[in-house]
Chain A
Amino acid sequence: SQQGEEDPQALSIQEGENATMNCSYKTSINNLQWYRQNSGRGLVHLILIRSNEREKHSGRLRVTLDTSKKSSSLLITASRAADTASYFCATAARTSNTGKLIFGQGTTLQVKP
């Protein structure tokens, strides 16, 4: 069963604005990852944050993790039309030390030029 829930389900912003997506999960995790998917096909790995980390940056991306609330957020700053895609969070459960990932339902982001 799906573990993650994301909100909003859909987000539409203007180019240059920031986009924030949230993810909640249910069980203890080893890490949480964010992926991007264009046109419903292959996923691209964006960033991984470990359970003992609280914040991580990669270029225009900022991810936070609050294990006490079992939630994470992905912030994309100064958005571009090319950021239009679906974004998924995925967790690696602590009960399984493998890379098996449990995905959220995703947030569809539209960035208008």
Chain B
Amino acid sequence: GAGVSQSPSNKVTEKGKDVELRCDPISGHTALYWYRQRLGQGLEFLIYFQGNSAPDKSGLPSDRFSAERTGESVSTLTIQRTQQEDSAVYLCASSLTSTYLETQYFGPGTRLLVL
């Protein structure tokens, strides 16, 4: 079966523009996670979904960041009025359920560059 996919693979945008990043989880996985990875750093948790609701948004860095999930499937991470410090790789992961016992399967990420 297909793994987690993300689009676009790369995105270059100008400061101040809005961007949308998409994640398609593995079919049947109810939990979906977004992480951000700055150059040379580990991953930072942003938000996770259980079904279509987001019980934990604690990692979103500012109100410019938002995410939604529809149909217990696709998720979109939106960054409004992008800043240069938003440049990073944005990684999505899904797991069968949201408990700590489950393995998370990661997508290839979207590399965002804000000029």
Distance of A84 from chain B, by nearest CB (Å): 16
Residues of chain B within 8 A of A88, CB atoms compared? 42-43
Q: Counting CB contacts under 8 A, is A45 at the interface?
A: yes
Q: Is residue A44 within 8 Å, beta carbon to beta carbon, of the partner chain?
A: yes
Using A31-B101, A41-B89 as known contacts, say yes or no to A100 and B45 having CB atoms under 8 A apart.
Answer: yes
Taking a contact as CB atoms under 8 Å apart, the answer to whether B100 and A99 are in contact is: yes
Check B102–A99 contact: CB distance below 8 A. yes
A101: interface (CB < 8 Å)? yes
Q: Smallest distance from the beta carbon of A5 to chain B beta carbons, Å?
A: 9
State which size class the interface on B falls in.
20 to 34
Interface size on A, residues (CB 8 A): 27
Most buried by B among A41, A44, A90, A99: A99
| Least CB separation from B105: chain A residue | A45
Contacts of A99 in B (CB 8 A): 31, 33, 48, 95, 97-100, 102, 104
29 cross-chain CB contacts under 8 A? A2-B42, A31-B101, A33-B103, A41-B89, A41-B108, A41-B109, A42-B107, A42-B109, A45-B103, A45-B106, A88-B42, A92-B100, A96-B100, A97-B99, A98-B50, A98-B98, A98-B100, A99-B31, A99-B95, A99-B104, A100-B48, A101-B45, A101-B104, A102-B45, A103-B43, A104-B42, A105-B41, A105-B42, A106-B41
Asked whether B55 is an interface residue with its Cβ less than 8 Å from the other chain, the reply is yes
The yes or no answer to A113 lying at the interface (CB within 8 A) is no
Could you tell me the dominant secondary structure of chain B's interface residues? strand
Contact status B56-A98, CB under 8 Å: yes
Query: Is A11 an interface position by the 8 A CB rule?
Result: no
Contact A101 B99 (CB under 8 A): no
A88: nearest chain-B partner, CB-CB: B42
Please encode chain A, from 81 to 95, with 1 for each CB lying within 8 Å of some chain B CB and 0 for all others.
000000010101000
Q: In the complex the two chains form, is B100's CB within 8 Å of A43's CB?
A: no
Q: What A residues does B21 contact at CB under 8 A?
A: none
